[in-house]
A and B are shown apart, each in its own frame.
Chain A
C-alpha cells in the first residue's frame, strides 16, 4: 500500500522545524536539569533543534550524510561539555535528531496509515508505535542490561564510570573466571547437569507413550486422565513443593538425588504431553495401518513409521521438560538438600545474600543457552508444520 502512495513533502517551517524543535527541547530539558537550569536547557534545545532542522533540510538533501553530520556535531559538543560519556550521549541525541528530521521531511511518517487519514490519526498511529516500542524495550532491556554488567571489573551491580567511558581496564572476565573456578558454582553446575537430563529422559519416555495412548480413538476417562496428567503445571509450585516435601520425607526420598529427579520429572510431564498430543493431532493413522498391513509388528511400526514423524514434537516437549527442570528452584529448594544444590538454587542464595556479580556472569551464560533452545524449538516447530503440510515452509 505504501508504494502506491505519492509521498508528499510536508511544509518545512510550519511542520518539520517545530516538531524537531520540540524533540530537541525535550532533550535540552534533561541536559538543562543536569546542569542546573531546566528552562534554559529547554529553550536552548528548541532553538538548536529548529536551526538544525532548517539547515539540514535546506542544505543537505542526502539523508545519510545529513544524519552523520548531525551526529558528529552533537558528539563533538558533548565531548567538549562532558568528556567521553558526553561524546556517547551527544552522538545518540544527534543521531536521533538527524533521523527524526529526515523521517518527517521525507513524509515517511505517513507510511503506515491510509492516505486519507487525518493528521490526528497519523499522530496517534505514530505515538502508538512509539508506545509499543517502549513496551518491547521494557521486555528486553533488563535482559540486555545484565550482559555488559557481567564483564564489570569491579564487584558492583551497576555501570562504573570507567565502563561508561569505555575504558578497557574497567572490563574483565573475572566473574566468568570465578564461575568456572569456584567449587560451589561448579558443584551446582554439575548437579544441574545430572538432574535435568535424568528428569527429562523420564518424563519424555513415559510422556510420549502416554500421549500416544491418549491419542487413540477410544480412551475411557480421557478427560479425567488428562486433568491428572496436566495438574503439575496448574498447581502453584509452592504447593507442589510443600506437598512433595511432606510426602517425600515420609517415604525417605527427601534430600536424595532420586527424589529431586522424580519431582522434576513430574513437573516436566505436562509439557511433553501437550506438545506430543499436539503433534499427534495431525498424525495420519492410516500410515500405521499400512505398515501393519505390510507385515510390520507394532514395535517396528512405532520406531520406523510413527516415531520419525512425531519426533519434532517429542524433542520440543523434551526441551520444555529440560528447561523446566534446569530452571526450577522452588521444588528443589524443599525436596533437595545441600548435596543437590542446583544452579538456580545457587543463584537464589547468591541473590538473597548479595555475594558477588558472578550471578550476572551465570545469568549471561543462561541467556545464551535460552537463545539456543529458543532457536531449536522454533526450527523444530517449522519442521513439524512442514512435515504435516500445515504451512508451505
Chain B
C-alpha cells in the first residue's frame, strides 16, 4: 500500500524559508549582509521566489495539459446544460417580434410575427438550419420537428410571388438588382424600409453562401413581400424620402393601394394548421432566451412551458425515478460491500503477514483484472443457460424449464457491481484495521468483557473510519457506473449514467445529457468533499 501524505512541506533541511525567518529574528540587531553585499533578507527573498517559480515551472506543463484536456471539457459540459442560442440565432426577427405576443391570450400571433418568421425561415432554409432547430424544439413539444421540415419546403412556394409580379408590372426597374442595391445602400432606407432592409441583409448572406454575385441575381419573393409591408405601413416617411430612386419608390408606394394583400399568416396556416396552435408559438417563445433552465427542469421531471414550470405528464416521468434507483442501488451495493468486506479485511489484518499477503492476492487479482473480464464472467455465470443455473438444475434445486432469471435486472447489476467494487472496500478497511493495536481488545477481555462486547465496544469503533472511507469510495464509484449496468442491467437495472449515454449517442439531446451529467457531478463532488473531510484527498491508496 503506497500512501501519499502531504509530506513535502515537512522539510527539516535548511531552506530559504527557514533562513528567512532566522534573518527576520536577527533583523533587530541591524541588517545582515550576504556575501555580495546585498541585505541578507533581500537575497533570501529572491532565492525563495526563484524556488517557488521553479516548482511552478515544473507543474505548469501538466496543469495546462489537464486544464485543456479535462477541465475545459467539463466546463463545456456545464455550459451546454444551460446554453440555448439556437432559437435566437436561427429566428432572430421572430424572437424579437414574439416579445409583444402574450401566450395567455390563447390566440396565435399576428401578421407581424409571421412576416418576421417568414424571412427567418427563408434564410434558415437556405442554410439548412431549420431542421436542427426543429429537432431541438421537438424535445420540448413533439411534432415541431416535422412542422419545421414541412414549412422549410413550403416557404419557397408561397403566394408572395403575387407581390413580385405586381411590382414588376408596375415598373420593370424593380426586377433589376442594381436598383435594389442602390436603394438599400442609401442611408435613410434602413429607417423608412426597416423590414426590407433587414431582409436584404439576409439576401446578401444567402448569396454569399452560394458564391453568387449580388448584381446578377434577381431578387426573390420575400424581398417584395417585405417591401410591400414597409410601403403600406410607412407611407408618410416614403413620401418624404428624397434619396436615390425616390421617384420609383414613391410611385410604388402609391400603387400599393391597388395591390391585393397576401396574408403571410394564412400562407403558413395553409402549409400546416399547427401554425395556428398557441402551443407551438408558446414553445418558441419560452425557449427564445440564450440561456435556459429547460434542460435542468427536464432532468427533474419538470417542464418549461409558456405558462411557466409544470410537471411532466406521468408517463414521461423517468428521471426522478432513475435518480432514486441509482441512489438505492448504489446504497445496496455499498451495504453489501461493507457486509462482505468487513470480515475479510478483519481476517487479513489479523493473520500473520505471510498468510495474509497470500490471501491478499485473492483481493488484488480481481482489482487488477479488466472490468470487462469481470462483467463478462458474471454474464457467463448468471445467464439462464449459464453456469449457476446449470449447477442448480443439475443439483435439482431448480427445474430445467423454470430457470432463475438472474441477469438483465437489478439483482444481476447488484451482484456484479458488488463483486467489482468489493476490493475498493477491502483495501481502505484493511489499511485502517492494520493500524488498530490488538492490545486494546486484549485489555478489554482481561477486564472481563465477552468477546462480542470487546469487539463491538472496543474494536469496531476504531474501524469506523475505514468503513467511512470505503463506503464513500464505493458509493462514488457506483453512482457513476456505466459499463456494467449497460451489460447486465437490462431495463430495470440501469443507472442515470446509461440515460446520459443514451442522450449523447441515440437521442442527440446533448443539452439534457449535459444537465443530467451536471447534477451527477454535483452529487459526486459533494460526496468527495465529505470524503476529503474524513480521509483527506492525499490519502488515496492504490493496491
**Residues of chain B lying within 8 A (CB to CB) of residue A371:** 365, 368
Q: What is A's interface to B at a CB cutoff of 8 Å?
A: 30, 33-35, 121, 128-129, 131-132, 135-136, 138-140, 142-143, 145-146, 149, 156-159, 202, 206-207, 209-210, 212-220, 222-223, 225-248, 250, 262-263, 265-266, 269, 271, 274-275, 277-281, 285-286, 289, 313, 316, 320, 323, 326-327, 329-330, 334, 344, 347-348, 351-352, 359-360, 363, 366-367, 370-371, 373-374, 377, 381, 384
Further 19 A-B residue pairs, CB within 8 A, beyond A218-B15, A278-B2, A327-B372: A139-B423, A140-B365, A143-B374, A145-B380, A145-B381, A157-B380, A206-B65, A213-B55, A213-B56, A214-B59, A218-B52, A220-B52, A238-B480, A238-B497, A239-B524, A242-B500, A281-B4, A347-B372, A377-B543
B 73-86 to A, binary, CB cutoff 8 A, 1 in contact else 0 = 11111001000000
Size class of the B contact interface (CB-based, 8 Å): 35 or more
A279 to B310, CA, bound (A): 56
Let me know if B517 and A238 touch, CB within 8 A.
yes
Which residue of B72, B343, B363 is within 8 Å of A131 (Cβ)? B343
Report B1-39 residues with CB < 8 Å from chain A CB.
Answer: 2-9, 11, 13, 15-17
A240: min CB distance to chain B, Å: 7
Let me know if B63 and A236 touch, CB within 8 A.
no
At the interface, yes or no: B54 with Cβ under 8 Å from chain A? yes
A sample of 22 inter-chain contacts (CB < 8 A) reads A34-B395, A128-B343, A128-B347, A131-B343, A132-B347, A209-B58, A213-B55, A216-B51, A216-B55, A218-B15, A231-B66, A235-B480, A237-B480, A238-B501, A240-B73, A241-B482, A243-B75, A262-B69, A334-B501, A348-B483, A363-B376, A374-B368
Let me know if A363 and B377 touch, CB within 8 A.
yes
**Residues of chain A lying within 8 A (CB to CB) of residue B374:** 142-143
**Residues of chain A lying within 8 A (CB to CB) of residue B4:** 274-275, 277-278, 281
8 closest residue pairs by CB, A with B: A236-B480, A213-B58, A243-B73, A142-B377, A247-B73, A210-B62, A216-B55, A34-B396
Q: A213-B59, A237-B480 are known contacts. Are A269 and B543 too (CB-CB below 8 A)?
A: no
Binds A, one of B87-95, B152-160, B385-393: B385-393
**Residues of chain B lying within 8 A (CB to CB) of residue A145:** 377, 380-381, 387
At the interface, yes or no: B283 with Cβ under 8 Å from chain A? no
Q: A210-B61, A248-B73, A280-B8 are known contacts. Are A352 and B487 too (CB-CB below 8 A)?
A: yes
Let me know if B69 and A218 touch, CB within 8 A.
no
Report B327-366 residues with CB < 8 Å from chain A CB.
Answer: 340, 343-344, 347, 359, 361-366
Let me know if A275 and B11 touch, CB within 8 A.
no
Look across to chain B and name the residue whose beta carbon is closest to the beta carbon of A381: B2
Let me know if B368 and A225 touch, CB within 8 A.
no
At the interface, yes or no: B302 with Cβ under 8 Å from chain A? no
A41: min CB distance to chain B, Å: 10
**Residues of chain B lying within 8 A (CB to CB) of residue A330:** 482-483
Which residue of B62, B362, B370 is within 8 Å of A136 (Cβ)? B362
Let me know if A285 and B73 touch, CB within 8 A.
no
Let me know if B380 and A243 touch, CB within 8 A.
no
Let me know if A240 and B59 touch, CB within 8 A.
no
Which residue of B56, B62, B385, B487 is within 8 Å of A158 (Cβ)? B385
Q: What is B's interface to A at a CB cutoff of 8 Å?
A: 2-9, 11, 13, 15-17, 48, 51-52, 54-59, 61-63, 65-67, 69-77, 80, 340, 343-344, 347, 359, 361-366, 368-381, 383, 385-387, 390, 394-397, 419, 422-423, 451, 476-477, 479-483, 486-487, 497, 500-501, 504-505, 510, 513-514, 517, 520-521, 524-525, 528, 537-538, 540, 542-543
Q: A219-B52, A229-B63 are known contacts. Are A157 and B383 too (CB-CB below 8 A)?
A: yes
Look across to chain A and name the residue whose beta carbon is closest to the beta carbon of B78: A243
Look across to chain A and name the residue whose beta carbon is closest to the beta carbon of B70: A266
B61: min CB distance to chain A, Å: 5
Q: A143-B366, A329-B371 are known contacts. Are A242 and B77 too (CB-CB below 8 A)?
A: yes
B73: min CB distance to chain A, Å: 3
Which residue of A285, A363, A370 is within 8 Å of B11 (Cβ)? A285
Let me know if B395 and A33 touch, CB within 8 A.
yes
Which residue of A139, A206, A209, A289 is within 8 Å of B366 (Cβ)? A139
A140 to B15, CA, bound (A): 51
**Residues of chain A lying within 8 A (CB to CB) of residue B9:** 217, 222
Which residue of A121, A132, A235, A320 is within 8 Å of B344 (Cβ)? A132
Let me know if A135 and B340 touch, CB within 8 A.
yes
Let me know if B369 and A243 touch, CB within 8 A.
no
Let me know if A143 and B373 touch, CB within 8 A.
yes
A214 to B76, CA, bound (A): 28
Which residue of B58, B383, B394, B504 is within 8 Å of A242 (Cβ)? B504
Let me know if A239 and B487 touch, CB within 8 A.
no
Let me know if A351 and B62 touch, CB within 8 A.
no
A285 to B381, CA, bound (A): 53
A262 to B395, CA, bound (A): 52
A139 to B521, CA, bound (A): 30
Let me know if B379 and A157 touch, CB within 8 A.
yes
Let me know if A266 and B370 touch, CB within 8 A.
no
Q: A143-B377, A247-B73, A351-B376 are known contacts. Are A327 and B344 too (CB-CB below 8 A)?
A: no
**Residues of chain B lying within 8 A (CB to CB) of residue A269:** 62, 65-66
**Residues of chain B lying within 8 A (CB to CB) of residue A232:** 66, 70
Let me know if B540 and A230 touch, CB within 8 A.
yes
A226 to B536, CA, bound (A): 12
A139, A226, A279, A344 interface centre (most CB from chain B within 10 Å): A139
B488: min CB distance to chain A, Å: 9
Which residue of A223, A243, A323, A326 is within 8 Å of B76 (Cβ)? A243
B520: min CB distance to chain A, Å: 6
A329 to B487, CA, bound (A): 12
Look across to chain A and name the residue whose beta carbon is closest to the beta carbon of B366: A139
**Residues of chain A lying within 8 A (CB to CB) of residue B395:** 30, 33-34
Look across to chain B and name the residue whose beta carbon is closest to the beta carbon of A238: B497
Q: A243-B73, A320-B542 are known contacts. Are A217 and B15 too (CB-CB below 8 A)?
A: yes
Let me know if B383 and A226 touch, CB within 8 A.
no
B344: min CB distance to chain A, Å: 5
**Residues of chain A lying within 8 A (CB to CB) of residue B376:** 146, 347, 351, 359-360, 363
Let me know if B373 and A271 touch, CB within 8 A.
no
Let me know if A138 and B385 touch, CB within 8 A.
no
A360 to B343, CA, bound (A): 31
A367: min CB distance to chain B, Å: 6
Let me know if B368 and A235 touch, CB within 8 A.
no
A30: min CB distance to chain B, Å: 5
A220 to B486, CA, bound (A): 43
A370: min CB distance to chain B, Å: 4
A358 to B354, CA, bound (A): 38
Which residue of B61, B344, B394, B504 is within 8 Å of A245 (Cβ)? B504
**Residues of chain A lying within 8 A (CB to CB) of residue B347:** 128-129, 132
Let me know if A289 and B13 touch, CB within 8 A.
yes
A223 to B334, CA, bound (A): 29
A138 to B423, CA, bound (A): 12
**Residues of chain B lying within 8 A (CB to CB) of residue A212:** 58
A344 to B375, CA, bound (A): 11
A226 to B340, CA, bound (A): 33
B58, B63, B378, B481 interface centre (most CB from chain A within 10 Å): B58
